[in-house]
Structure 1
Amino acid sequence: MFTGIVEELGKVVSIEPAGTTGESLLLTLRGPLVSSDAGHGDSISVNGVCLTVVGRGEDTFTADVMKESLDRSSLGGLSVGSEVNLERAARVDGRLGGHIVQGHVDGTSRLLSRNPGDNWDVLRFSLPAELSPYVVEKGSITVDGTSLTVSAVSAPGADEEFFEVSLIPETLRATTLGGLPAGATVNIEVDVVAKYVERIASVAASRPRA
C-alpha cells in the first residue's frame, strides 16, 4: 500500500526481456533514496504500478514487470533514460499524506491540455468511460503514482469525458507531471473506497427483499 506522495524522481537504467516468451520485462531503475533500504520482495511504486524488488545495486533496484502490468499500464512505453515517479510502500506508523493507493492501475489516460497559472498548472486528462463513475470533484485520484485532488470533472454523458487536477509548484518540481507533454499517456488509479461502495451497493440491490 502507498500514499501517492512521490519520494523521488528515478530513471530507467536498463530494460531486458524476462522469461522464455518475452512477454515480461526485467526493469532496472536508479533511485538512491528508495533503493537505500530496499530488500528482496519489497514493494516500490513505479509511476503508480506496484512492483516487487528482485535485485538491488548501489543506488538501483530491479523488478519484474509481468504481462498483466504491461497490458494495463504505460510501463511498456518506458525507455532507457525515462524519468519515473518512485515511492516505497507506506509504513503503518507514518502519516497518510495523500490517500490510500494500492498500486493497482485501473487504466491509462492521456493528457489533453495544460493551462499554466501564476502558482499552479491545471492539467486536463481523458477519462475512460468505465472509470467515470468513480471520479468526483474534490475526490482523490492517482496519476502516475501521484496522489491528486480532482478539481473538475466533465458532466455525465459529455461527448469527451475528462477530469482536471491543479498542480502546485512542489508537485510540478518533484514529479514527472511537471514536464509532461500534451498527448502523453499516464497511469491512473481511482479511489478504492468508491469501488468498494459500488460493490456493496450492487450486491445489496441484487439480494431478494424479504
Structure 2
Amino acid sequence: MFTGLIEEIGTLRSVQRRGEAMVLQVAASKVLEDVKLGDSISVNGVCLTVISFDGSTFSVDVMPETYRLTTLRDLSPGSPVNLERAMMAGGRFGGHIVQGHVDGTGTIRSRSSQANAVVFAIEPHREEILRPIVPQGSITLDGISLTVVDVNYDAGYFSVSIIPHTLRETVLQYKNTGDTLNIENDILGKYVDHLLGIRERSPAGKRGGLTEAVLRENGFML
C-alpha cells in the first residue's frame, strides 16, 4: 500500500521488451536507501516488485496485464518517473490509500494556470473509470494523491488543481495537453460502485443491492 506522496523522480535507464512483457531498470537514490529484493515500489502509480538492484538502480518486471492497462508501455530510456516506496506500518499517512492497482489511463485535455495553481482536465479512456470519481474526493494520477476539483460526467472528464510544490516534485511538471496518465480511483469509491452495480448484474427475479446476503458473499460480514 502507498500514500500517493511521491518521494523522488527517477529516470528510466533501460527497457527490455518481450512482446507485452518488459523489464524496466530505473535510476534512483532515495527509494534505494533500504531496498530489498521483493520490495514494492510504485513507478508512475504502478505497484511493481524489485527483482534486482545495485547502488544506483533497481529493476522490475512488467507483466502483459500491466503493459496493456498502464502508460508504462510508452516509456523509453530517459523518461522521468514518479517513485514511492510502500508505506511502513506506523508511518505518517499524508495522502490517501493508494494500492498501486491502476484502473486505466486518461488523456490531458487541458492545462491552465489559476493564480498559484495549475489545473489539469483529464479525460479517462474508459467511461466506467469516471463513475466512482467524486468532486472533492481523492484520486491518484501517475501515483500522486490528488483532490478532485470537479467532475463533468456528461462531457466525460474531471479536473484536479496542482500546487507549485506538487508540480515541482513530480512528473506533472513535464505533462501537457495530449499526454497520458495512469489513473487509480479511490478504493472506497470503487468498492461502493462495485457493490451497487451488483443489482444490475443480478439474475432476473433475484433481489439486488446492498443486502445482508450480498455483504456476506463479498466478505464484509462473517
Fold shared by both chains (TM-score > 0.5)? yes
Could you tell me which residue of structure 2 aligns to residue 138 of structure 1?
136
| Overall identity of the aligned pairs, in % | 46
Residue 66 of structure 1, CA deviation = 0.7
Q: Separation in 2 of the partners of 1:113 and 1:208?
A: 43
Correspondence 1:193 to 2:170:
no
Residue 96 of structure 1, CA deviation = 1.2
Q: Which ranges in structure 1 are unaligned for 5 or more consecutive residues? A: none
Could you tell me which residue of structure 1 aligns to residue 179 of structure 2?
184
* Secondary structure, counterpart of 1:134 in structure 2: coil
Correspondence 1:115 to 2:112:
yes
Residue 199 of structure 1, CA deviation = 3.0
8 Å Cα contact 1:48-1:142 kept in structure 2: yes
Q: Separation in 2 of the partners of 1:162 and 1:34?
A: 33
Residue 65 of structure 1, CA deviation = 0.6
Residue 203 of structure 1, CA deviation = 4.4
TM-score (normalizing by structure 2):
0.87
Q: Single out whichever of 118-127 and 104-113 deviates more from structure 2.
A: 118-127
- Choose the corresponding residue for 2:43, options 43, 46, 52: 46
Correspondence 1:208 to 2:203:
no
8 Å Cα contact 1:41-1:54 kept in structure 2: yes
Residue 57 of structure 1, CA deviation = 1.3
| Structure 1 residues 163 and 202, CA gap change in structure 2 (3 angstroms) | closer
8 Å Cα contact 2:20-2:68 kept in structure 1: no
Q: Separation in 1 of the partners of 2:109 and 2:85?
A: 29
Number of corresponding residues: 204
Residue 13 of structure 1, CA deviation = 0.3
Q: Separation in 2 of the partners of 1:153 and 1:52?
A: 33
1:97-121: CA deviation from partner (whole Å, max 9, x where unpaired): 1110000000000011111133110
TM-score (normalizing by structure 1):
0.92
Residue 198 of structure 1, CA deviation = 2.4
Could you tell me which residue of structure 2 aligns to residue 147 of structure 1?
145
| Structure 1 residues 161 and 203, CA gap change in structure 2 (3 angstroms) | closer
* Secondary structure, counterpart of 1:197 in structure 2: helix
Could you tell me which residue of structure 1 aligns to residue 12 of structure 2?
12
Q: Which ranges in structure 2 are unaligned for 5 or more consecutive residues? A: 212-222
Residue 31 of structure 1, CA deviation = 1.1
Q: Separation in 2 of the partners of 1:108 and 1:202?
A: 22
Residue 200 of structure 1, CA deviation = 3.2
The 5 A counterparts of 1:140-179 are 140-154=138-152, 156=153, 158=154, 160-179=155-174
8 Å Cα contact 1:36-1:59 kept in structure 2: no
Residue 196 of structure 1, CA deviation = 1.3
Code of the residue aligned with 1:3 in structure 2: it is T
Q: Separation in 1 of the partners of 2:195 and 2:156?
A: 26
- Alignment root-mean-square deviation, CA: 1.7
1:152-193: CA deviation from partner (whole Å, max 9, x where unpaired): 110x3x2x3111000000001000012211100110000111
The 5 A counterparts of 1:57-136 are 57-127=54-124, 128-136=126-134
Q: Separation in 2 of the partners of 1:181 and 1:195?
A: 28
1:13-67: CA deviation from partner (whole Å, max 9, x where unpaired): 011135xxx3311100011011221111000000000000000011110000111
